[in-house]
């Protein structure tokens, strides 16, 4: 009698079925591990950005402005527009690039080619398929300039970023120069900078491009909504009213948002980074966004 040297078709199908089941079990676990690693890397980057903010404060006496705008008749204009991230360049190992920025000229000025340089520390690892640069247009769709993206935004407070001159509740706003001593609510309960994925709201690290419109990113649930546009102050700064919102027709472009599962990473004024879950109450999040609102927030609240 001959010995069998191979597998029957039925045996092969059984093995394949077992492999499919195992893959179905293992793949989600692998994806969770990968996302946990990406979230950890994001938190590390925000910790470095927070340290850069404090080093800037040590050298200048205040945190950088949310964005820099010349005073004039039009209080809604954002020229030259350079935002908090551009002022941090020397403190995130981008001294050479910082020296290329002409801060007296608008971001979109042809001489300011520094705006086109992609900077890895400003890009969340969980923010997928972010381009090296992207077009920024006005409300009519006319191209103003192109610029390199960012996955983070500074906290303006709980008010609207497009209000002029704005409520000035947070650590960052138009021409802000907030000092640590101005954060009377406590540095451990005051948000500075957090996730706002480029795939959710397309923004540049350079700042508030004058006349530019923040548009919904490729993964925004409201991308096709005509209401999903916001004015230039929303490029560098957002409100602290919701996390990972998807229901509003405006796309929640002016809110914190990430591609992390269940919440966002936030850098606080004490230098710490914490993960805030998207189920956080609006009242608590609004309180965390103000620097001197007099609210009492306990860490157990979030």
What SS3 string covers the chain?
CCCCCCCCHHHHHHHHHHHHHHHHHHHHHHHHHHHHHHHHHHHHHHHHHHHHHHHHHHHHCCCCCCEEECCCCCCCCCCEEEEHHHHCHHHHCCHHHHHHCCCCCCCCCCCCHHHHCCCHHHCCCCCCCCCCCEEEECCCCCEEEEECECCEEEEEECCCCCCCCCCCCCCCCECCCCCHHHCCCCHHHCEEEEEECCCCEECECCECCCCCEEEECCCCCCCCCCCCEEEHHHCCEEECCCECCCCCCCCCCCCEECCCCCEEEEEECCCCEEEEECCCCHHHHHHHHCCCCCCCCCHHHC
In a domain, 193, yes or no: yes
Q: Judge residue 62's burial from the number of C-beta atoms within 10 Å of its C-beta, 0-12 exposed, 13-18 middle, 19 or more buried.
A: middle
Q: Is the pLDDT of residue 130 over 70?
A: yes
What's the pLDDT score for residue 302? 77
Asked whether the beta carbons of 196 and 203 are under 8 A apart, the reply is yes
For residues 293 and 289, give the distance between their C-alpha atoms in angstroms, rounded to a whole number. 9
Pairing of strands 80-83, 191-195: unpaired
Domain count for the chain, please give it.
1
Check: pTM over 0.95? Answer yes or no: no
Domain that holds residue 234: 31-301
Residue 21: pLDDT band (50, 70, 90) is confident
In a domain, 4, yes or no: no
For residues 213 and 234, give the distance between their C-alpha atoms in angstroms, rounded to a whole number. 9
- Span 71-85, average pLDDT: 88
In a domain, 20, yes or no: no
Name the more confident of 10 and 82: 82
Q: Is the pLDDT of residue 158 over 90?
A: no
Cis ω before 80 (30° cut-off from 0): yes
In a domain, 17, yes or no: no
Pairing of strands 67-69, 80-83: antiparallel
For residues 232 and 213, give the distance between their C-alpha atoms in angstroms, rounded to a whole number. 6
Pairing of strands 191-195, 152-157: antiparallel
What's the pLDDT score for residue 161? 62
To the nearest 10°, the Cα dihedral for 117, 122, 123, 125? 140
In a domain, 2, yes or no: no
Q: Which of 197, 82, 196, 193 is nearest to 130 (CA)?
A: 197
For residues 181 and 203, give the distance between their C-alpha atoms in angstroms, rounded to a whole number. 30
Percent of the chain having pLDDT more than 90? 77
- Span 20-28, average pLDDT: 68
In a domain, 93, yes or no: yes
In a domain, 8, yes or no: no
In a domain, 25, yes or no: no
Q: Is the pLDDT of residue 293 over 90?
A: no
């Amino acid at each position: 009698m001959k010995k069998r040297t191979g597998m029957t078709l039925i045996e092969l199908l059984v093995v394949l079925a077992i492999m499919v089941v195992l893959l179905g079990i293992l793949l989600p676990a692998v994806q969770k591990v990968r996302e946990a690693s990406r979230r950890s890397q994001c938190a590390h980057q925000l910790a470095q950005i927070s340290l850069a903010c404090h080093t800037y404060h040590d050298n200048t006496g205040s945190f950088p402005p949310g964005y820099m705008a010349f005073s004039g008749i039009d209080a809604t204009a954002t020229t030259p527009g350079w935002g908090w991230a551009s002022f941090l360049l020397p403190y995130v190992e981008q001294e050479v690039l910082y020296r290329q920025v002409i801060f007296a000229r608008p971001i979109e000025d042809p001489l300011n080619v520094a705006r086109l340089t992609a900077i890895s520390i400003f890009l969340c690892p969980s923010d997928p398929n972010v381009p090296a640069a992207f077009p920024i247009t006005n409300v009519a769709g006319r191209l103003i300039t192109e610029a390199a993206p960012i996955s983070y935004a500074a906290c303006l407070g709980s008010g609207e970023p497009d209000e002029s001159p704005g409520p000035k509740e947070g650590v960052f706003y138009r021409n802000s120069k907030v000092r640590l001593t101005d954060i009377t609510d406590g540095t451990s309960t005051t948000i500075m900078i957090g996730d706002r994925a480029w795939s959710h709201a397309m923004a540049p690290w350079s700042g508030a491009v004058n006349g530019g419109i923040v548009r919904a990113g490729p993964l925004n649930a409201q991308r096709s909504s005509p209401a999903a546009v916001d004015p230039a102050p929303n490029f560098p700064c957002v409100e602290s009213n919701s996390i990972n919102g998807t229901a509003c027709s405006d796309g929640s472009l002016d809110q914190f948002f990430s591609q992390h599962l269940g919440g966002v990473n936030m850098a606080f004024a004490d230098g710490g980074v914490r993960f805030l879950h998207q189920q956080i109450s609006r009242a608590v999040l609004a309180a965390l966004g103000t620097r001197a609102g007099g609210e009492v927030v306990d860490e157990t609240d979030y």
